[in-house]
Amino acid sequence: MPCRVLISLACNWRSAPPRASSNKARTAYSTLAVIFIYTIPIVLVDFIIGRGRRGVKAGAGIGFDPSNDYNELKSYPVFLEYPMRNLFRVRLVVFWVSLLALLAGLYPGCARNPVTGKRQIALVSEQQEIEMGREAHPQVLQQYGRLENPQVQTYVSDVGQRLAGSSHRPELEWHFTVVDVPVVNAFALPGGYIYITREIMAYMNNEAELAGVLGHEIGHVTARHSVEQISKAQLLSLGLGVGSVLSPTFGQLSGLAESGLGLLFLKYGRDDERQSDELGVEYMLAEGYDPREFVHFFEVFEQLQEESGQVLPNWLSTHPSPPDRISRTSEQVKQLMASRPATDLRVARQPYLQRLEGVVYGENPREGFTEDGWFLHPDLRFRIRFPNGWKVQNTRSAVVAMEPNGAAGIQLTLASEQKSPEEYASLLANQPGIRLLNGNRTTINGNPSYVGVFEIANQNTQQTIGVLAAFVSYRGNLYQIAGMTSPGRFRSAQGSFEASITTFGELNDSRALSVQPDRIRVVEARQGQTLRELAERAQNSRIKLEDLAQLNRLEPNEPLPAGGGVKLIEAGRRY
């Protein structure tokens, strides 16, 4: 609480905008000012107390002799009569006063919020904010993948750019990307990088709903919510190492991934969510979209159950829903639309549904799936068997199998450099914190390989982990398969690691190689047809009727108007 008060006081000490001047000069001035402001009072207090100590009897040490009558100190303030007892208090007062001066000296870090116009603590400048997003963007694409559908990407970007142009920060270079992930979510990186998943698009029914979600994420950026969270973390010396995605490089296998992906998991507060809801509605209306559709989409979020075991968290886990979200947003929409006719507001259902035609729905087996204990990857044409009962997670950049208790794991990735297996192992062994204990060249199912035992130091916890790693050259790629656990469990787990590593090899099963994903198909209903009838025609046993009803927000037996677009899920070929 004292820190919050001081930060608030410091940020509002001078409310007038700063004059144009060099940031370096301002920082230098602030630094010198803080040195003087902090050191002079401390020196002065010590000097006063030091003078008072001249009346202490010899041999009394650094304290005052209780038998002394303190006559020499009567001219000093009363609080110095027992300086050893009060010295801590004096220093504490001086510290807090000096800290206030320090925060005031860091005035450039107290930025004016683009949305509210108020000053807030922000240890991240706008240029740093933009740079964070720019650096993290390639990591997002590597981890989650960009949806390979130029028509959808262009459509989403066009809608997003229009909304961003009506936002509080139109001067930013905005980027809008659909990521190829079967999880309902949308998220933003600092500096104008907005992402939505293909799965969340499947649950939208018109362009206005898309605009609402994009506007909400734009609001997080314009109000600098991520930057505020980063600033708080820096003040608490927590840094940004909050990502839970295993990195494909050995230097990060031993702990949480300290990368830009951590920015994705900065959980917003409910106040941030309320503000972004309001901004999303504001930006929608500015571009002529019907904001009532955004409220309708919130109702879908309320119905969706939080998915577990996903590498990318879903919307509800990163965007905590305020208890009164729907009613508050509805009231805001009502007030904003009071002076505007609803007839000229854009919904655009058919144009939106047309863009969904052929988009993959759910998991894409072409990118890997499990079958009878095997992990099969049709596109890369490899297979590997993980220990029985281990939980397998698959992403674009890694396949991870974890023991049920989380004490051991195996990760398969593509190596970052195209070298021979032995060269790559040697390269890793020369990295700080990594030690190669033993290793040898070999072949695994006819593929040139190198297998070695490594010890990796976790720089965060100062602990080490034992790693059995294999580097396998296969079909023009270098794969690294790493079994990891604590040194104390390494011997007992080594057998499981070796058993999995030796199963890596070519996938030549024609049934596995020919699998295809489910896809969205948009059909026009005839007058009086029902969703149940259309679903029976689609003949996809993997999709429940109630799930299809939720996708379309229709009742299964509700008669449909002629020509209305309905989303069905076409069954892809399975193993």
pLDDT tens-place string over residues 187-202: 998 899 999 999 999 9
Half-sphere exposure of 357 (CA within 13 A, CB side): 11
Q: Are strands 408-414 and 374-377 parallel, antiparallel or unpaired?
A: unpaired
The alpha helices in 122-206, defined as continuous H runs, are 126-144, 150-165, 198-202
* pLDDT (0 to 100) of residue 15: 41
Higher-confidence position of 136 and 460: 136
- CB 543 within 8 Å of CB 569: yes
Average pLDDT over residues 49-67: 39
pLDDT at 261 over 60: no
pLDDT score at 311: 44
Query: Is residue 255 predicted with pLDDT exceeding 80?
Result: no
Q: DSSP secondary-structure letter at 289?
A: B
Render pLDDT for 436-460 as a digit per residue (tens, 0 to 9). Answer: 999 999 999 999 999 999 999 876 6
What is the distance between the alpha carbons of residues 184 and 302, in angstroms, rounded to a whole number? 12
Is the distance from CB of 301 to CB of 315 less than 8 angstroms?
yes
* SS3 sequence of 415-439: CCCCCCHHHHHHHHHCCCCEEEEEE
Give the residues across from 441 on adjacent strands.
450
The torsion angles phi and psi of 107, rounded to 5 degrees, stand at -55, -40
Q: Which domains are seen in the chain, by residue range?
A: 2-112 (no CATH), 126-356 (no CATH), 365-513 (3.40.1000.10), 518-570 (3.10.350)
Strand partners, 447: 444
* Token reading at 564: 């209305």
Fill in the amino acid letter for 488.
G
Higher-confidence residue: 324 or 137? 137
Q: How many CB atoms lie within 10 A of CB 544?
A: 11
Q: Given its phi and psi angles, is residue 445 left (phi above 0), alpha (psi -120 to 50 degrees) or beta? A: left
Query: Which whole number is the average pLDDT over 17-36?
Result: 41
Residue 146: DSSP 8-state: B
Q: Is the pLDDT of residue 292 over 60?
A: yes
**What is the reported pLDDT for 265?**
47
Query: Of 179-193, 461-475, 515-529, where does the model show the most confidence?
Result: 515-529
CA dist., res. 211 & res. 192, Å (int): 16
pLDDT value at residue 213: 95
Residue 314 is predicted with a pLDDT of: 52
From the number of C-beta atoms within 10 Å of its C-beta (0-12, 13-18, 19+), residue 562 rates as exposed
Nearest to 64 by CA among 87, 95, 96: 87
Using CA atoms, how far apart are residues 369 and 154, in angstroms rounded to an integer? 30
For residue 546, give the H/E element and its range: helix 545-552
Which residue type is seen at 425? A
pLDDT attached to residue 563: 85
Asked if pLDDT for residue 251 goes beyond 50, the answer is: no
Sheet hosting strand 382-385, strand order edge to edge: 369-371, 374-377, 382-385, 505-506
Q: Give the pair of three-digit tokens for residue 78.
A: 């009363």
Q: Which residue has the higher pLDDT, 512 or 57?
A: 512
Q: Residue 39 has what pLDDT?
A: 53
Q: What is the pLDDT of residues 409-437, one digit of tens each?
A: 999 999 877 899 999 999 999 998 899 99
pLDDT digits (tens, 9 = 90+) for 90-116: 555 555 555 555 554 444 456 677 777
Taking the C-alpha atoms of residue 191 and residue 140, their distance in angstroms, rounded to an integer, is 14
- pLDDT at position 76 is 32
Task: Tell me what pLDDT residue 122 has.
Answer: 65
How, if at all, do strands 369-371 and 374-377 pair? antiparallel
In contact, 221 and 227? CB cutoff 8 Å: no
pLDDT in tens, 549-574: 999 999 999 999 998 899 999 999 99
**Helices H, strands E: what count in the chain?**
18, 19
Over residues 393-409, mean pLDDT: 91
Q: Which helix (H) or strand (E) holds 102?
A: helix 83-105
Q: What is the mean pLDDT of the chain?
A: 78
pTM: 0.74
CA distance 336 to 491: 66
